[in-house]
């Protein structure tokens, strides 16, 4: 499926990998540090970083009284952890203003959000492939994935991240019954998205250990579409 | 919410209770007998019964070569059991052509369909209140409920029947996570239906016992809609 453009396409052409790389360099140079705040991370950014965060579609700017100065951004746990532990371009501090270690962050986020390891694995999996990933609650899924910035294109994929548990754990109990499948596929169809299911196997890793255990998780991508009988018909 | 009419409304005015009552009388008079066939029940009906089955929206006629004669209808398990055990107007036979007892039927259907007791409780609960109940798979729910015949109105309710298990059994694991809730509500909104959740409590009854144990089940009806802030705003 090709991306569905919203209008002018020229501006979108800079590859996402280049934009993210510029953001990474800039944040490293300025020793950027985020602050844990409940279920989010606040990050103060220079004007050029604000521009790059917007173009990379990471976080959202908070409304502030000051203009033409530094701008505060609110990052989700996934976004903050990705910048901190995958791109290694920000530090994140807790209430005492001291930067937390990766494992301290990991533990904090896991306690705050049920099923966070599986969600972060899915988020980072797609981001590493240069998809733009945003929350999908509007469409009843975990994420939506865009090929370019959402200002230019509609999202192509509605993404569900499902742990591949033997016990069918209740952590993200989606697509276990037909009515849920029908509901999700019909909704995806009506908003012109393809359902992408990321089955995430823990491969025996216990998810409470540490961030490094995430490397042992594996991701299986399944695109779910309705079968079109025309496809297999003889072209006579 | 008022029913959304499809066009002419005059024909729909005969109450559903009257139509069902006529069907019941006619089937009793003709000693009607259905035949179990896999996951359905086949019922041969006289022309007047065919008309009444259509108007009551029970079963669907099978295409046959013969015209102006008896017509075969295919009933779902819910429809057949409702006619047999609630309205007591048909008998149902198995392969040996002998009418099965209520408990034999119950056991047969429970083995064939996972979660059937809860589904039948929901179906009969709505039918007793004279709602027209049809399968809801098209909308990703268990049933849809119409105020009149589907030829005259669109369905008003999208219905999910959920067992109220302490252990959160996987039988019908819907609406356990937010993304499923969002998905279902958005879909219901886009097809102009109200989500009706029937929470069915077994009240300690073990559902393998018999049809009579269904009387101890209780049904709690919950309509789920998005909250509209306007509603609580002062009318100044």
pLDDT of residue A189: 92
User: Of A109, A137, A106, which is closest to residue A40 (Cα–Cα)?
Assistant: A109
pLDDT of residue A57: 96
Res. A7 pLDDT band, cuts 50 70 90: confident
What 3 state SS string does chain B have?
CCCCECCCCHHHHCCHHHHHHHHHHHHHHCCCEEEEECCEEEEEECHHHHHHHHHHCCCEECCCCCCCCCEEEEECHHHHHHHHHHCCCCEEECCCCCECCHHHHHHHHHHHCCCHHHHHHHHHHHHHCCCEEEECHHHCCCEEEECCCCCCECCCEEEEEEECCCCCCCCCCCCCCHHHHHHHHHHHHHCCCEEEEEEEECCCCCCCCCHHHHHHCEEEEEEECCCCHHHHCCCC
CB contact under 8 A, B183 and A139: yes
Assess whether pLDDT exceeds 90 at residue B186: yes
Is the CB of residue A113 less than 8 Å away from at least one CB of chain B? no
Residue of B nearest to A180 (CA): B140
Q: What is the mean pLDDT of residues B88-112?
A: 94
pLDDT of residue B8: 65
Higher-scoring residue by pLDDT: A166, B151: B151
pTM of the predicted structure, to 2 decimals: 0.86
Q: What is the mean pLDDT of residues B133-143?
A: 96
* Distance in angstroms (rounded) separating the CA atoms of residues A222 and B35: 41
pLDDT of residue B9: 65
Q: What is the mean pLDDT of residues A93-120?
A: 93
Assess whether pLDDT exceeds 70 at residue A102: yes
pLDDT of residue B223: 95
- pLDDT (tens digit, 9 = 90+) per residue, A143-156? 999 999 999 999 99
* Distance in angstroms (rounded) separating the CA atoms of residues B121 and B100: 20
CB contact under 8 A, A140 and B182: yes
Is the CB of residue B181 less than 8 Å away from at least one CB of chain A? yes
Assess whether pLDDT exceeds 60 at residue B168: no
Distance from the Cα of B106 to chain A's closest Cα (Å) equals: 22
pLDDT of residue B229: 77
ipTM of the complex: 0.83
CB contact under 8 A, B173 and A178: no
pLDDT of residue A235: 58
Distance from the Cα of B60 to chain A's closest Cα (Å) equals: 21
Distance from the Cα of A172 to chain B's closest Cα (Å) equals: 6
Q: Which residues of A touch B172 (CB under 8 A)?
A: 177, 179
Within 10 angstroms of residue B9's Cβ, the number of other Cβ atoms is 12
pLDDT of residue B181: 92
Residue numbers of B annotated as active site:
146, 154, 193
CB contact under 8 A, A182 and B142: no
Query: What is the H or E stretch that residue A145 is in?
Result: strand A143-146
Res. A87 pLDDT band, cuts 50 70 90: very high
Assess whether pLDDT exceeds 80 at residue A8: no
Higher-scoring residue by pLDDT: A177, B145: B145
pLDDT of residue B47: 93
For testing contact with chain B, the best of A159, A165, A187 (most B CBs within 10 A)? A187
pLDDT of residue B114: 87
Is the CB of residue B192 less than 8 Å away from at least one CB of chain A? no
Beta pairing partners, B37: B40
Is the CB of residue A166 less than 8 Å away from at least one CB of chain B? no
Residue of A nearest to B167 (CA): A170
CB contact under 8 A, B179 and A174: yes
% of chain B with per-residue pLDDT over 70: 89
CB contact under 8 A, A183 and B181: no
pLDDT of residue B165: 73
Mean pLDDT for chain B overall = 89
Q: Which residues of A touch B136 (CB under 8 A)?
A: 179
CB contact under 8 A, B184 and A183: yes
pLDDT of residue A164: 84
Of A139, A176, A182, the CB nearest to B137: A182
pLDDT of residue B230: 77
Residue of A nearest to B168 (CA): A170
Q: What is the mean pLDDT of residues B37-48?
A: 95
CB contact under 8 A, B138 and A179: no
- pLDDT (tens digit, 9 = 90+) per residue, B61-89? 998 766 667 899 999 999 999 999 999 99
Distance from the Cα of A103 to chain B's closest Cα (Å) equals: 27
Distance from the Cα of B130 to chain A's closest Cα (Å) equals: 24
pLDDT of residue B233: 65
Q: State both tokens at A125.
A: 């999996």
Higher-scoring residue by pLDDT: A175, B64: A175
Assess whether pLDDT exceeds 70 at residue B128: yes
pLDDT of residue B78: 97
- pLDDT (tens digit, 9 = 90+) per residue, A178-218? 999 999 999 999 999 999 999 999 887 765 678 888 888 99
Q: Where are the alpha helices (DSSP H) in A58-157?
A: 77-81, 102-112, 116-128
Calculate the alpha carbon distances from A67 to A37, A46, A71 in Å.
23, 12, 8
Q: Which residues of A touch B176 (CB under 8 A)?
A: 170, 173
A&B contacts, CB < 8 Å:
81
pLDDT of residue A201: 92
CB contact under 8 A, A173 and B177: yes
Buried/exposed A217-236: b ≥16 CB within 10 Å, e otherwise: bebeeeeeeeeeeeeeeeee
CB contact under 8 A, B160 and A170: no
A193 carries an active-site annotation: yes
Of B168, B173, B187, the CB nearest to A183: B187
CB contact under 8 A, B186 and A138: yes
% of chain A with per-residue pLDDT over 90: 70
Residue of B nearest to A179 (CA): B140
Output phi, psi for B213, to 5 deg.
-65, -15
Q: What is the mean pLDDT of residues B111-130?
A: 95
* Distance in angstroms (rounded) separating the CA atoms of residues A153 and B235: 41
Of B140, B170, B179, the CB nearest to A168: B170
């Amino acid at each position: 499926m090709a991306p569905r453009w919203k209008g002018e396409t020229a501006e979108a052409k800079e590859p996402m990998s280049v934009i993210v790389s510029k953001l990474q360099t800039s944040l490293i140079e300025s020793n950027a540090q985020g602050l844990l705040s409940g279920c989010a991370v606040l990050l103060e950014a220079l004007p050029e970083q604000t521009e790059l965060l917007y173009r990379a579609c990471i976080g959202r700017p908070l409304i502030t009284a000051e203009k033409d100065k530094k701008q505060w951004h609110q990052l989700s746990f996934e976004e903050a952890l990705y910048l901190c532990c995958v791109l290694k371009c920000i530090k994140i501090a807790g209430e005492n203003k001291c930067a937390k270690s990766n494992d301290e962050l990991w533990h904090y986020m896991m306690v705050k959000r049920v099923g966070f390891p599986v969600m972060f694995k899915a988020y980072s999996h797609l981001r590493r492939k240069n998809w733009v990933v945003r929350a999908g609650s509007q469409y009843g899924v975990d994420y939506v994935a865009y090929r370019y910035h959402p200002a230019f294109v509609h999202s192509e994929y509605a993404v569900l991240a499902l742990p591949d548990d033997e016990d069918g754990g209740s952590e993200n109990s989606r697509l276990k019954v037909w009515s849920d499948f029908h509901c999700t596929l019909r909704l995806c169809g009506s908003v012109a998205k393809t359902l992408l299911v990321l089955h995430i196997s823990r491969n025996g890793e216990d998810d409470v250990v540490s961030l490094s255990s995430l490397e042992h998780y594996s991701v299986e991508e399944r695109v779910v579409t309705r079968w079109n009988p025309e496809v297999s018909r003889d072209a006579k």
